[in-house]
Amino acid sequence: MDNSFTETNGSSIWPYVIVGSAIGGAMGYLFVSDSGKRLRQRVTHPDQLADDLDGVRTFVENKARDVTDRVHGFIGRAKQSIDEGQRAYQHAGDDYRSRARRLETKNKDIASTVHQTVDRMSHTAAHIEQSVLDPICEMGALFRGIERGIRSLIGRTRERSLSSPDETTVVVDQRTFGEIRRY
């Protein structure tokens, strides 16, 4: 192999090829591509670079302000939603308490009506007993008295033995049956 191409004066040519390729690539980038042209423009005109930085700063400030406004808007809507929820909760609680008071009032009215009805029924029962049952019992007693009086006149009386002093006569009032029985 011939090493004359790769070596000149005892040194290698490859580092020169690499450096030359890098320089050529950089030159091609700066002069051929659009981004290279913009870079060249910024380097040769530093005042435009400052304007670009100001533009970037203004852009970033505007975007930050937009984001901040959106965040504040979201926070405002969240606060408004929370307030609305609290008002709805308060309204529901007031409505519940109002219904409970109305129900309690109705229950008290019903209980009062029931008590009045029971009292009236008790008075009616006592009145019926006094006006109807007592006279019937008296009529039954009168009937028994007349019946015994007639029997004793006719001679059909029962003979009682009063020989032992321990015997007592017990009188049971059974007015519902209209008679008085002796045991």
47-59 pLDDT, tens digit per residue, is: 666 666 677 788 7
Report which of 80, 147, 112 is spatially closest to residue 120, judged by C-alpha positions.
112
Residue numbers in the chain where pLDDT is lower than 50: 1, 159-163, 172, 174-177, 183
Angle formed by the axes of helices 34-44 and 46-128, to 10°?
A: 110
Sequence length of the chain is 183
CA geometry: angle 102, 107, 109, nearest 5 deg: 95
Predicted pLDDT at 94: 93
**How far from 131 is each of 13, 32, 134, CA to CA, in Å?**
146, 130, 6
Query: Cβ neighbours of residue 23 under 8 Å, at least 6 residues apart?
Result: none
Cβ neighbours, 10 Å, residue 68: 10
Predicted pLDDT at 117: 93
pTM: 0.36
Predicted pLDDT at 14: 85
Predicted pLDDT at 97: 93
What does the block give as tokens for 58?
């203004």
